[in-house]
């Protein structure tokens, strides 16, 4: 199997603020992620993990360096092109689930399809299919407040994958969950990675969760400190 880079970061920098008050959150990140990879990102609080995830997800732009997505120079994209990349190719999961309250699980999962302009019946079918994949088809009409934390995160995963993205970006997806619930979430992500070949980039503080990934990237002070292969998971059959 030939691995192709889906994402390449080259000397990515990010400064917050200007002049003397500027803070360098990223100081030159080089990172290549191949299609189908499962990458964990670890590192101390404040080391720049979320800043990089936001750049990968086109929620923020770098100050310098190159970001290639499937060979395209994202750092040259305008706002519309970034929005398109986000909608067509990327899915997100956050620590806090970020679901709309007073809105059913089904409607939450339909949202990305609404932004894409899909017809109502298509949205329903695709959202139900995604909810089924996370084991929540029986909960489709419940609102977030009627669901447990683990269930809410599974709704958020269904929303993230409903439009069949190439890359799933997860920033501390198990940060609010107990170990058993966290492992359920990791098993789901692992299954999507294996079955659909979706590329996953996941920030986590927990070594137990990072073990599900093929590769762990360690951040420190806005730099990649080291990259570690997980021999047990990397799927190398050579």
- Contact set with ligand ADP (CB under 6 A): 16, 23, 25, 43, 45-51
Nearer to ligand ADP among residue 146 and residue 228 (C-beta)? 228
Nearer to ligand ADP among residue 38 and residue 94 (C-beta)? 94
45 binds, among ligand ADP, Mg ion, none (CB under 5 to 8 A by kind): ligand ADP
Are residues 129 and 185 in contact, defined by beta-carbon separation less than 8 angstroms? no
Nearer to ligand ADP among residue 16 and residue 115 (C-beta)? 16
CA atoms of 30 and 12, how far apart (whole Å): 7
Are residues 155 and 134 in contact, defined by beta-carbon separation less than 8 angstroms? yes
Residue 13 Cβ vs Mg ion, minimum distance, rounded to whole Å: 18
233 binds, among Mg ion, ligand ADP, none (CB under 5 to 8 A by kind): none
48 binds, among ligand ADP, Mg ion, none (CB under 5 to 8 A by kind): ligand ADP
Cβ neighbourhood burial of 145 (10 Å; 0-12, 13-18, 19+)? exposed
Task: Report in angstroms the alpha-carbon separations of 208 from 21, 40, 86, 169, 170.
Answer: 38, 11, 29, 18, 16
Residue 6 Cβ vs Mg ion, minimum distance, rounded to whole Å: 22
Strand partners, 169: 92, 201
Nearer to Mg ion among residue 124 and residue 205 (C-beta)? 205
Q: Tell me the two tokens of residue 198.
A: 């979706």
Residue 47 Cβ vs Mg ion, minimum distance, rounded to whole Å: 9
């Amino acid at each position: 199997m030939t691995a192709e880079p889906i994402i390449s970061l080259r000397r990515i920098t990010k400064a917050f603020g200007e002049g003397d008050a500027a803070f360098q959150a990223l100081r030159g990140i080089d990172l290549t992620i191949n299609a189908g990879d499962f990458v964990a990102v670890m590192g101390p609080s404040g080391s720049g993990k979320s800043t990089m995830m936001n750049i990968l997800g086109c929620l923020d732009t770098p100050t310098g360096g190159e970001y290639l997505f499937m060979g395209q120079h994202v750092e040259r994209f305008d706002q519309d092109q970034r929005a398109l990349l986000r909608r067509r190719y990327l899915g997100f999961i956050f620590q806090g689930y970020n679901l709309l309250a007073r809105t059913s699980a089904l409607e939450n999962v339909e949202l990305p399809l609404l932004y894409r302009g899909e017809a109502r019946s298509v949205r329903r079918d695709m959202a139900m299919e995604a909810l089924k994949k996370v084991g929540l088809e029986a909960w489709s009409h419940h609102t977030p407040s009627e669901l447990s934390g683990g269930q809410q995160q599974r709704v958020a995963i269904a929303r993230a994958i409903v439009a069949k993205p190439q890359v799933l970006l997860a920033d501390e997806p198990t940060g609010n969950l107990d170990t058993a619930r966290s492992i359920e979430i990791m098993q789901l992500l692992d299954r999507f990675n294996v079955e659909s070949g979706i590329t996953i980039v996941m920030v986590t503080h927990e070594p137990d969760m990072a073990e599900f990934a093929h590769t762990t990237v360690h951040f420190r002070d806005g730099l990649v400190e080291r990259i570690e292969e997980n021999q047990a998971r990397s799927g190398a059959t050579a």
